[in-house]
Amino acid sequence: MPWILHPAGTFNGLSAATIDAVLGVPRARYYLSGDGHRTPPFAWAVRPAVRAHFLNLMATGNLCLHVEQHQEDVTDQSIPAQFDPVFVQHKVFGWELSMFKHLLPVMTLIMDVMGQLPDPALSDVVALHRDMVRMDALAWSVGNPPWIHNALAQSDVFLAYWKLRLHENHAQRIPPNAATELNYMTFLNQYNNACMALRCDANNFIAVNIMNAMARFPNDTHLITVGNAHLVTNPVQQYINIGLEPGLIDPAQM
């Protein structure tokens, strides 16, 4: 059975009068919500209409929560306080890809370097190139997108230019090349945009992380939270195989 997409806000608006129609009888075991950037997510699951159901599942050790974090960053603060026992049971799973730890730092450094142009600090240009080397080394984990490898080759050329342009010995510096520096600005902007797009371009790999965790507890109920963009751009749900059981989606960011 495919995932069932409900109007945004359906989960949060559940009441005694609507819970059977939405969650089904017996209750669905797979829930996907767009509140991955909420701190904490899953506020809808502790509202009065549904709280008893999920707390009962937790009490019997049959509830798993999947959050938009790296596993090593998951704490009891990653979920509502009512679900603390799920954390103690080691059933809170972070689905973020390891490579994504490098996305925000590289994007932040790109913005710093762009803001410094036309006279960036050579140390920042070098550091940014090293970040791109790291991204290239991890590209296999997201299917080796060609742009990552192509960008590293371009960065090599730009780095050689900046090392001459910003040489520590002023007498050996080459004069500015306006066309090269404009191309560098364009290159950085495109790389930044590609990093942003990768968040959802890699949804099929994110789905693998989620399904691997789900496979460990195939008889449990699974609440999965993602940022809303993962549901509407290259929708992650199309890659999450839940067999013939119904899965419910609420894209609300709540």
Summarised one tens digit per residue, pLDDT across range 165-205 is 999 888 889 999 999 999 999 999 999 999 999 999 999 99
218 pLDDT exceeds 60? yes
Confidence check: pLDDT of 247 > 60 = yes
Could you give phi then psi for residue 114, rounded to 5 degrees?
-60, -35
Q: Which H or E run includes 109?
A: helix 103-116
Residue 137: strand, helix, or coil: helix
User: In this structure, what are the phi and psi dihedrals at residue 4, rounded to the nearest 5 degrees?
Assistant: -105, 115
- CB-based burial label for 206 (10 Å; 0-12, 13-18, 19+): buried
Where is 51: in which H helix or E strand?
Answer: helix 48-59
Instruction: Extract the tokens encoding 22.
Output: 């939405």
Where would I find the beta strands (DSSP E) of 141-233?
Answer: 221-225
Averaged pLDDT, 109-138: 96
Residue 118 has pLDDT above 60, yes or no: yes
Question: Hey, what amino acid is at 184?
Answer: Y
With a threshold of 0.85, does the pTM exceed it?
Answer: yes
Mean pLDDT to the nearest integer, 204-229: 97
State both tokens at 142: 């997201």
